[in-house]
Amino acid sequence: MREALPSNAIWGGFGVGSASFPMVAQSTLLGGNVRVGFEDNFYLRPGTPAKSNAQLVEKTVAVLRALDKEPASPDEAREMLGLK
């Protein structure tokens, strides 16, 4: 589906439940953006509920950095989306 997008498209992927963090990696490797939150997933790993959205974000940042990527800052994200 990514190949059907215009070359300058800003896109992202997300997974639900146990697919959340694998999708973070997959979307990142394909050049997309990611998001995480309790609306999609309550667990840091099977059987370990997250106590906050912040924990989900921290794990996502760790996945990104393991792939040699850096998350955008809020200002960078606004700039990419033309909100600044």
- pTM for the full predicted model: 0.86
Q: Residue 51 has what DSSP assignment? A: S
Element (H, E) at 44: strand 43-45
Tell me, what's the pLDDT at 8? 87
pLDDT above 80: residue 84: no
Return the pLDDT at 53.
95
- The pLDDT tens digits for 9-65 are 989 989 999 899 999 999 999 999 998 999 999 999 999 999 999 999 999 999 999
Looking at the structure of the chain, the number of domains it has is: 1
Domain of residue 69 covers 2-80
